[in-house]
Amino acid sequence: VAGDLLDSGNLNKYARTMLRYTKNRARIWGLHNYGDVNRKRSRGISTLLKLVPGEVWLTETGGIVSFDAARGFKPSETAASRAISYMFTLANRFDSRRKGYKSRITRLYPYEFRTKLADARFDAGLISPEGKSRKGYTTFKSKARRAKK
């Protein structure tokens, strides 16, 4: 993976810099798209897909259950479950090359399966610290079964 970028305001700058240093030869890029998924948008994904050639893997994505620094959305188990559903919607929407885009989404890796601490500053676990399945787990399981291969 040439670069593993966050869908934040400086995504464009970082991607262009990495393209320059890889001499435009990199063909696999990673994106942590929490912003897009939890805010129901596609700005970060669209930006990266228009800039980089090859494949984009969603390498760290999912619904956020709790996050001390959350802005623009209110994390909860229900919101995380909705975000996970939207995560699959985005992956399906951009799974083939579109006009004006240089790449497409080919893989999706949720983060994280199980949160270890009940008082963690950041929690995107499909399973609670106590080992119980959350709403997001059920959503993930259902959507993954029906996902395009």
Q: Would you state the pLDDT for residue 149?
A: 59
Looking up residue 101, the CATH number of its domain turns out to be 3.20.20.80
Which residues partner with 30 through β-bridges? 4, 57
Q: What are phi and psi of 12, to 5 degrees?
A: -60, -50
pLDDT at 15: 94
Tens place of pLDDT for every residue, the chain, 149 residues? 988 999 998 999 999 999 999 998 899 999 999 999 999 999 999 999 999 999 999 999 999 999 987 777 889 999 999 999 999 999 999 988 888 888 899 999 998 888 888 888 899 999 999 999 999 999 999 999 988 65
Q: What is the largest CA-CA distance in the chain?
A: 47
Count of structural domains, the chain: 1
| pTM over the 0.75 mark | yes
- Exposure class string for 58-77: b at 16+ Cβ within 10 A, else e: bbbbbbbbbbeeeeebebeb
Report the pLDDT value the prediction gives residue 88, as an integer from 0 to 100.
95
Residue 85: give the domain boundaries: 4-146
